[in-house]
Structure 1
């Protein structure tokens, strides 16, 4: 099997309309080299992979569309593109149930396999105490060369990246859209700083505009890249809880920081602690867990 040809076909399929990651997985199962996919008619694609005819037609069109081929070449020339069949694909993501098939990267891709890594998440509207809590817990970890993973959203996410950059630490930002559509726009400078001093990662092609459903979808990558997920603050119905559920489903550790019950941004953290998340008072609560569990974590990879 020619690995280079396979990865090119996988990158191509990944940006075709009419199919999902699950369908692409099915295609790889039936034809591990993806050598026959271009030979099928839209009707055959529909029958073989259980696609509605409209989807099969979209897929057929994109498979044979020269503009799609040209856009792929342009993106490969400008960005690092990782596929799940590549040797340098992050080992941590190979262990999750629904790993991204293709990742676009901007920055230092060696960070993808850096250990230890901690996912840091929380509300977009943090309390006045949130940033002091992050300084207190995260600075000692970064002094020990921990990497921080987050989503470059407003609030907790942005500050996690800023904290890493300020301390000349390591950070990865996982986006909910393509590199050409930075969201939120106010983080354009932060995007540029992370690209220069850390790593920007996206499952979406560079020209993909962010959509609402992208953000809960990308959260599995944020939690998947970390040994554990630390929740700084979360309201009772916070979207942060989606990432927590994914972290638990991936077998990752979940940590939560408590605070006054009078602060609405901590209600979600208290609920998580009641449900079994580990209460974090200091950086040592996380670091000691890593020391006791790292051999088990590394064996999984």
Structure 2
């Protein structure tokens, strides 16, 4: 193993994703290299040193990567994920095309459920964790109409608006995708254990984080770029000033996605963020027709 890489391209990407010291930029540099290599290329020619060179690793990061990549601990992690997790890489045909377009897409996605959920046009819902019945009414009006038209509903399995969107899609017997900020074997928040399990059975749960990854705070801003990148349109139902939902909405705007926001009373704290988005140019989401107008080119 120290002299060369005896594995497939996808297995190599998985190992790189789990390795210390390389980072997402390094993973994507090597993924681009692997995409250019013919399928019959002998990966044994790629020594650990050459991998580090192609990934542009230097100093402490390079040393950490080279030590970890040739160690037994990483090999045990790889074997665990090969036996206990399902995963796709950016080299797979089933990897969502729209996600490849974003800045720094995940090189590996772990999943539970039906990957066919990725093959339909998608609408992402985000909003406050303390979402009120206002969000629930809006979501319950929009989601069944989307499901009727074979759109998939994407959200982040958080409390509030996220869970409302998932539950509305499940109730409408539609397709829903949960993008989580932990490993697939973790649940956050804990009260959504049954919801996550149900989505994994009839929909799709996605994560770029390895098994065992806890709900670290910094995971969620990283996760949000996937919520923004997967969809054709992103809807914000309620959001405070400078909330995480606004960060996700701005990521969606940067990726040229349609962003809609539900307006609310100017003195309602949970509507401040949505009103600010509209003031900045997001389309007001008043009726189902407003959303369908934005996504009509994606209907199946």
TM-score for both structures, normalised by structure 2: 0.89
Offset of residue 16 of structure 1: 0.6
Which one of 290, 293, 298 corresponds to residue 294 of structure 1? 298
Which one of 7, 10, 25 corresponds to residue 22 of structure 1? 25
Offset of residue 79 of structure 1: 2.5
Please give the alpha-carbon distance, in whole angstroms, between the structure 2 residues aligned to 1:96 and 1:49: 20
* RMSD of Structure 2 on Structure 1 (CA): 2.3
Alignment partner, residue 252 of structure 1: 257
Alignment partner, residue 84 of structure 2: 78
Alignment partner, residue 118 of structure 2: 112
The reply to whether residue 10 of structure 1 matches residue 22 of structure 2 is: no
The SS at the match of 1:40 is helix
Distance 1:102 1:30, change over 3 A: closer
Distance 1:95 1:262, change over 3 A: same
Please give the alpha-carbon distance, in whole angstroms, between the structure 2 residues aligned to 1:70 and 1:26: 24
Please give the alpha-carbon distance, in whole angstroms, between the structure 2 residues aligned to 1:90 and 1:48: 25
The SS at the match of 1:236 is coil
The SS at the match of 2:215 is coil
Please give the alpha-carbon distance, in whole angstroms, between the structure 1 residues aligned to 2:265 and 2:48: 63
Distance 1:128 1:193, change over 3 A: same
Alignment partner, residue 228 of structure 1: 233
The reply to whether residue 142 of structure 1 matches residue 147 of structure 2 is: yes
Please give the alpha-carbon distance, in whole angstroms, between the structure 2 residues aligned to 1:226 and 1:39: 37
Which one of 126, 129, 138 corresponds to residue 121 of structure 1? 126
Offset of residue 58 of structure 1: 1.8
- Structure 2: segments with no counterpart, 5+ residues: 38-42
* Superposition map of 1:108-257 within 5 A: 108-115=114-121, 117-257=122-262
Q: Tell me if the contact between 1:149 and 1:173 (Cα under 8 Å) persists in the aligned partners.
A: yes
* Segment of structure 1 superposing worse, 243-252 or 257-266: 257-266
Cα-to-partner distance string for 1:169-201 (whole Å, 9 max, x where unaligned): 110000111012211111111110100110000
Please give the alpha-carbon distance, in whole angstroms, between the structure 2 residues aligned to 1:39 and 1:23: 13
Please give the alpha-carbon distance, in whole angstroms, between the structure 2 residues aligned to 1:129 and 1:147: 22
Offset of residue 155 of structure 1: 0.6
The reply to whether residue 38 of structure 1 matches residue 47 of structure 2 is: yes
The SS at the match of 2:106 is coil
Cα-to-partner distance string for 1:248-286 (whole Å, 9 max, x where unaligned): 111100000112223210111111011110011111111
